[in-house]
Amino acid sequence: MGALSVPIPSRRLECFYRPAILAGSAAVLLCVFWFASRYPQLMSKAQHVGQAMPSMTYSHELVHAAADAPPWEKILFGAVNWLDAMKIGMAFGVLLGALLHTTLKYYPLKIGKNLYLNSVKGALVGAPMGVCANCAVPAACGVTRGHGRVEVALGFLFSSPNFNPVVVMMTFTAFPLVMSVTKYVVLLLVIVLLVPGLIAWLERREQIKPFTDRDDAASCDLAVPAEDCTETFWSVLKNLSAEYGKHVWMLVKPTITLMLVASFLSAAILTLLPWPTLLAQVTPSRAALVSLVSVFMPVPIALDVMFAAQLQAQGVASGYVMLFAMTLGTYSIIPTIYLWREVSKKLAVILFVFFFAVGWLTGLLF
C-alpha cells in the first residue's frame, strides 16, 4: 500500500500542445505534397524517359514559342515555363523550410559532433522527400537558420533529387550500368566524404555563419518548454502560426527574387547558345562550356535523367549523356547563392567548381 501511495510522474495534455501541432502540420504537409503532387508526377516522368522534351529545364510547356519567334519571346516564354514547372516544388520547400525553422526554435536539434554521420543522416531524410536541388534550398535554409548543422542541410540537398527511389529506378533503367554506378558512387562520396570533410576544414579556418551566434546550450536534449503546460491550445496555436508565418515570409522574399533571376538567366542561356554545334563533338573546350552550363542550370527533379536519356536516344555522344546525367540537377546556381549568402562563400565556390570538374572529366572519359 505504501508503494501505491507514491505519486507517479506524469505530464498533462497541455504539455504536448506545441509538439502535437508541429508534428501534425508536418504530417499534413508531407502527405499532401507526396501523394497529391510529387510521386504521381515522378511516376509520370518515369513513363516518358527517352522521349523528346521541349527544354532542358522543363518537361511541359505552359506557353509555346514558335521556332522562328524572336529571341526575347523565346527567353520570356522559357522563363514562364520554368517558373510553372518549379512552382509546386518550391512552394513545398518554402513551407517545409519555415516549419523546420519554427520547430528548431522550440526544440533545438541534437545531432551529434560526427560530421560524416550527420551528413548521412541528412541524406537519409532527404531521399524520400522528392524535391530538386533548388527546391531543397528553402528547407536547407530552414535548418541552418534554426542553427542546425550545415552538413545535415547539404546531405539533404544532395540526396533529395538523386537518391529518391523513383529517380534511382529511372537512372538505372535509362543508362548503361557503368554510367549509373559511376554517378551514384560519386554522389555517395560527395555526401559521405566531401561535404563533411569540407565543413571540418572550413570550421578550422573560418567561422561559418549559421554557427557564429550559436548558443552551445541549444544543443541540449529535446525538452518541452515550460509554457507548454500553462498555455491554452488556442494560444499555442496562435503563437506557432505567427512564428510560422514570419518564417514563411522570410523565405518567400529571397526565393521569389532567386526564381525570377534564375528563370531568365537559364532561358537566355538555352536560347542564345548554339547547342547543335556544342553537342556535335566532344572536345575539352566544348565539354568545359557544356559542364559549366549544366552545373549552373536550375532544373526540376528527374529532368537530368529525362534530358540525358533524350540525348542518348538522339545519338548524341555518350560523354555528353554522362555529363548531363552526372551534373544537371545535382547542383545549380540556386544552392550556390544560398551557400554564398547564408553559409560560406568558399564552400559555395568549391562545390560549384567540384561539380564542374566532375562534369568535364566524365564528359571526356565516357
Tens-place pLDDT, residues 179-188:
999 999 999 9
Tens-place pLDDT, residues 305-348:
999 999 999 999 999 999 999 999 899 999 999 899 888 899 99
Whole-Å CA distances, 48 to 8, 52, 171, 174, 317: 60, 9, 13, 11, 21
Check residues 265 and 104 and name the one with the higher pLDDT: 265
Q: Give the lowest-confidence range in 1-5, 34-38, 170-174, 314-318.
A: 1-5
* Whole-number pLDDT of residue 216: 37
What's the predicted TM-score (pTM) here? 0.86
- Kindly state the cell numbers that stand for 288: 568545359
> How many whole angstroms separate alpha carbon 195 and alpha carbon 204?
15
* Whole-number pLDDT of residue 17: 85
Please, what is the average pLDDT of the chain? 86
Query: pLDDT at residue 13 above 60?
Result: yes
Instruction: For the chain, give every domain's residue range.
Output: 13-38+65-365
Helical H segments across 6-70, by residue range: 17-33, 39-47
- Residue 252 has, within 13 A of its CA and on its CB side, a CA count of 8
Tens-place pLDDT, residues 86-118:
999 999 989 988 998 888 888 877 777 889 999
Query: pLDDT at residue 175 above 90?
Result: yes
